[in-house]
Structure 1
Amino acid sequence: MNSIEAMALDIWRQLVDLPAMPLPEPARGRAIFAGSGDSYAAALAGSHLSPGRVLCFYPADIIANPAIVKGASAYFLSISGKTRANVQAAEAARSAGASTVAVTAEPSSPLAKACDNTFVLQFKNAGKTSGTIGFTASLLACAQIASGAACPADLKAIYGAASKKATRIASSIQTKSAVLLGDSLLYPAAVYGALKLNEVFGSRAAAYPLEDFCHAPLFGHKDEQTVVLGSGDDARVSRRLGRAGLKVLYVDCGKYDGLCSILYATFFMQHLVLAVARRKRMKECYFLQNEKLLAASSDIIY
């Protein structure tokens, strides 16, 4: 199976595995999330869902200043459990007196061994491809830890609505370069979407909070596709950016609240990337084909 079809299978499998996946207990007291890449986006979403008591950091922040986790429950997210910075951060947090928990799909991984406890993410995947079900599994775990939010009962309806929206507009998307924008709860979904464009197409893609983009990054904007994951007044901002000459695609996520809005935006980005890849008749993700960059990435991360 090629990596594009493996990604398609993993996207579909979310409907089966996510509702059945065991979730961790909600955190008691102050908690910290840490992760890199997709895991950081999932952790950031969990932080946004918490009532102000769960913070999110990069592993490097904890390595540089372990005192920030002292007395907290520190959750380290990594699907493989092999990310070197996460392992070092967990060791630093443990030495600083934090209670450490690995949130990973690999219970025998270096991260699991570096932490006091491990929560195992239970899902199946189809092989090496751009991360989809691993991200949503991590997202649900973080949501439960941060706020007690469970997998939505209407997950299938959210998934279906996002798939229809993405399929409808896939023909209008260009992937050479893109900017993804979203405020508050939707910013982590924008970060995740940019990462998928990087991995699958080799796009020059980046994410910004919508309001922050308008302060300075706007002036470096050239001919990129601009995708806004928004709700409420974000539609007005998108129209204004369009009148300024930007190629804006506005995706209204306002039908849903909280975790459901993040899931809708996530499913939308997954289906959009898949639909565009199929329109291009792609067989493999870009990151797997560029062996030189993949080797550099692996050497640095692991």
Structure 2
Amino acid sequence: MSIQAMEEEISSQVLDLPRFASHLRKAHLPKRKRSSLVFTGSGDSYAAAVFAQELSKGEAAASDPYELLTNIKRTRGKNLVIVSLSGRTKTNVELARKANGIATTTLAITAHPESTLASECDETLPLEYRAAGTLTSGTVSFTTSLLACAYLLGNLPRTIQLGTTLGAANRWARNLKPRAKSSFVFAGSGLNYALSLYGAAKINEVLGAKAEAAYPEQLGHAMLFSVNEERDLIVCLSNNRDKARQVYELLRKNDFQCSALAISGNDAVLRSLKIAIYLQQLPLAIAKRKRMAECAFLSEKKKLKLSNKMIY
């Protein structure tokens, strides 16, 4: 069942992420200037693209693939990086074809190096991890994508140790008990905004619940008026001394249901991997509490069929 498969893949990251990082250290792709890189992708892969932009402090760019496709000149003279787990997303494939001869190079980050996207790109950076063998919501596929982006930017962590992260993330998630019909808001700046996009996507896919990502500055404007303080849950991803922490303190004082997620550490990539695992454990814990066997996106057959038509 897909919930069990998700749990297995979350656990596998403890070993698979250090192994993949070790493989990346031995890779021999040419180094490129950060300012020459444009990252793109859809779904979880879009969150990975935004992560790359934020990790580069804005030197690299992130964009929606269709927006690039309709304004292909934005790739002129750039190194286009297309993040796609399946390598089959039709907009990504069309983008790779259209960028040929316009972008300096095209590179696919994908778990399927034999895919159509990989064949259309000049270079491929394969994602390596153990899949559970059952379709489920993306976990290790996302964190390996983060490592691949970090490698291209020259920010690969020296070591990756996640031994205590799984247990801590599980305890954090189990302590959060949102209401039955809760909506969710994930708020964060910089890398934490990219991770907020991912956290919202996991709630959508696994629970079929409404979830949004927001910058802390924007949360206090129109969005706040759509949040029910007794029912909805706001998760503030914070670096402790930032706007997200200030927002969390204000929300808590005004009786909103909220949680601050702050992970310490000097390495931004390693810290992001840990936060991603926390965000994976949250919908998993809620799904297990509800005794769900399948992720919502797999249970909604009609919507899944429509989603496939829109994507592939």
Instruction: Name the TM-score class by shorter chain.
Output: over 0.9
Q: 1:270 to 1:159 in 2, by over 3 A?
A: same
1:87 corresponds to which of 82, 90, 93? 93
1:136 aligns to 2:143 (yes or no): yes
1:236 corresponds to which of 246, 249, 263? 246
Residue 51 of structure 1 and its aligned partner are, at CA, apart by 4.5
2:284 corresponds to which of 267, 274, 278? 274
Residue 245 of structure 1 and its aligned partner are, at CA, apart by 4.1
Secondary structure of the residue aligned to 1:269 is helix
State the match for 1:15 in structure 2. 14
Contact 2:178 2:232 in 1 (8 A): no
1:191 aligns to 2:197 (yes or no): yes
Contact 1:197 1:203 in 2 (8 A): yes
Query: Using the alignment, how far apart are the partners of 1:215 and 1:201 within structure 2?
Result: 27
State the match for 2:160 in structure 1. 153
Query: Using the alignment, how far apart are the partners of 2:306 and 2:288 within structure 1?
Result: 28
TM-score by length of 2: 0.90
1:284 corresponds to which of 290, 294, 297? 294
Contact 1:230 1:254 in 2 (8 A): no
Runs of 4+ in 1 over 3 A off after TM superposition: 24-27, 157-161, 170-176, 254-257
Residue 174 of structure 1 and its aligned partner are, at CA, apart by 5.1
Greater shift, 130-139 or 219-228, is seen at 219-228
2:234 corresponds to which of 226, 233, 245? 226
RMSD: 1.9
State the match for 1:108 in structure 2. 114
State the match for 1:206 in structure 2. 212
Residues 71-100 of structure 1, C-alpha deviation per residue, up to 9 Å, x if partnerless? 111110101001111111112222423300
Residue 300 of structure 1 and its aligned partner are, at CA, apart by 0.5
Query: Using the alignment, how far apart are the partners of 1:15 and 1:26 within structure 2?
Result: 29
Which one-letter code corresponds to 1:20 in the other structure?
Answer: R
Query: Using the alignment, how far apart are the partners of 1:144 and 1:174 within structure 2?
Result: 40
Residue 257 of structure 1 and its aligned partner are, at CA, apart by 4.4
Q: 1:146 to 1:140 in 2, by over 3 A?
A: same
Which one-letter code corresponds to 2:149 in the other structure?
Answer: C
Query: Using the alignment, how far apart are the partners of 1:213 and 1:172 within structure 2?
Result: 19
Percent pairwise identity: 37
Contact 1:180 1:194 in 2 (8 A): yes
Q: 1:26 to 1:184 in 2, by over 3 A?
A: farther
Query: Using the alignment, how far apart are the partners of 1:148 and 1:10 within structure 2?
Result: 24
Q: 1:115 to 1:146 in 2, by over 3 A?
A: same
Figure out how many residues of one structure are paired with residues of the other and give that number: 300
TM-score by length of 1: 0.93
Residue 235 of structure 1 and its aligned partner are, at CA, apart by 2.5
State the match for 1:77 in structure 2. 83
Contact 1:19 1:151 in 2 (8 A): no
Residues 38-80 of structure 1, C-alpha deviation per residue, up to 9 Å, x if partnerless? 0011121122111542111110121011111111111101010
